[in-house]
Structure 1
Amino acid sequence: MSQLVLFAIDICAVALLVFGLYFPRHRRRDLVVAYLGVNVGVLAVASALSASDVGAGLGLGLALFGVLSIIRLRSTELDQHEVAYYFSALALGILGALSTTSVWLSGGLMALIVAVMFVGDHRRLLRHYRHQIMVLDSAVTDQVALVAQLEQLLNARVHTATVQRLDMVNETTVVDVRYSVAGRGTAAGTSRPARAGAVR
């Protein structure tokens, strides 16, 4: 009976994680089925292994390896917060299959995972900090001049600027910029970059 209760708690927790947190915040429909599939798949495999003679540790290790391989060999780009949702869905499935622990302990840990994701992925947490990949229409070799140019374009304080590609022939600079807009006059996304574009 306790196992069925854990199953129900897991389904409620992953539904809240996916439909209450992830999709309303990020609106990426293709990952909804991925998170649900990972959760239910791990829940089913771990539950079946716990009732068989095969070591549950070996089975969970194989499941983790499979999920990590999927994430590593993905064909589409995933942001770090989307990887965090993957691991959260995976952890919820594992906790839902652990019949050796009490319902209260497993349920509390599931609630903790959802609560951490709610806070960690909240739009107000560190909301002034931004990240962009920019393409400048000039080849800038001086780091100080590069930072000054980026701060002028973004109207923000640049914390790090890492040059990813410097093309002296076509006079372009691809730079990874991490900056904050706190205390600045314009909001993020209102920059006037010269042939600059943000991929994230």
Structure 2
Amino acid sequence: MIVGLAMDLAAIILLAYGLYYRRHHRRDLLFAYVALNVGIFAVVSLLLVQRVDIAVGFGLFGLLSIIRLRSSEITQQEIAYYFVAIVLGLVNGIAAAWPTTALLLNGVLLVVMYIADHPGLLGRTRHQVVTLDVVYADPELLRVDLESRLRARVLHCVVTQVDYVRDVTVVDVRYVVPQGSARDQTRARAGVR
């Protein structure tokens, strides 16, 4: 169990501090990833050490599955980090049986997260919810206005809300920042996506 705990702590520190926090700078989620990971590790280790009925194990994981992330809105990237934090806790919790396999899986998970969330990989693509003070009947005029305001090429936009009384349109926009733009260079230096 000590080997599994050491591997788990090393893996979650690399994931949470080395990858997530350096790229996304959300301290609240950093704490959540570490706490969730260590909690999963403790539960799995306890279930392996103490022989309990399988129903208890299913009950514990059922309890974990109903936890909702209510505090603030999180992105799909952050959900992926949650998932990997859970998997690392599970893998390292059973590491006593197969420490070499657990070490290999830790490495694979961390390398995949490093590559998949690397700022250089599709780093110029952005997502934003935009509220406009105008309502467009023509989708092409909407696209032209968004490109003008964002100073970027719009890849996809979906109108999520229209208020004809206040003349307001809410649009979910995916766009590409032009290469070499001041905004792109500033975000790249900061490691922000």
Same-fold call, TM > 0.5? yes
- The structure carrying a bigger helix percent of its residues is 2
**TM bin (shorter chain):** 0.7 to 0.9
Please report the TM-score for the alignment, with normalisation by the length of structure 1: 0.83
Q: CA deviation at 1:135?
A: 0.9
Q: CA deviation at 1:105?
A: 0.7
CA distance in 1, matches of 2:20, 2:44: 25
Equivalent residue in structure 1 for 2:128, among 111, 125, 132: 132
* Distance change (3 Å), C-alpha of 1:154 and 1:10: same
Pair 1:116 & 2:112 matched: yes
Percentage identity across paired residues of the two chains: 40
Equivalent residue in structure 2 for 1:104, among 95, 100, 121: 100
Unpaired runs of 5+ residues, structure 2, are: 187-192
Q: How does 1:1-200 map to 2 (within 5 A)?
A: 3-55=1-53, 59=57, 61-70=58-67, 72-99=68-95, 101-183=97-179, 187=183
* Distance change (3 Å), C-alpha of 1:146 and 1:186: farther
Unpaired runs of 5+ residues, structure 1, are: 191-199
CA-to-aligned-CA distance 1:1-52 (integer Å, 9 cap, x gap): xx32222111111111111111122221122221111111111111111123
Q: SS state of the match for residue 136, structure 2?
A: coil
Q: CA deviation at 1:99?
A: 4.3
Q: CA deviation at 1:182?
A: 3.6
8 Å Cα contact 1:49-1:55 kept in structure 2: no
* Distance change (3 Å), C-alpha of 1:113 and 1:26: same
Please report the TM-score for the alignment, with normalisation by the length of structure 2: 0.85
CA distance in 1, matches of 2:76, 2:166: 32
Q: CA deviation at 1:106?
A: 0.8
Q: SS state of the match for residue 127, structure 2?
A: strand
* Distance change (3 Å), C-alpha of 1:122 and 1:174: same
Q: CA deviation at 1:103?
A: 1.1
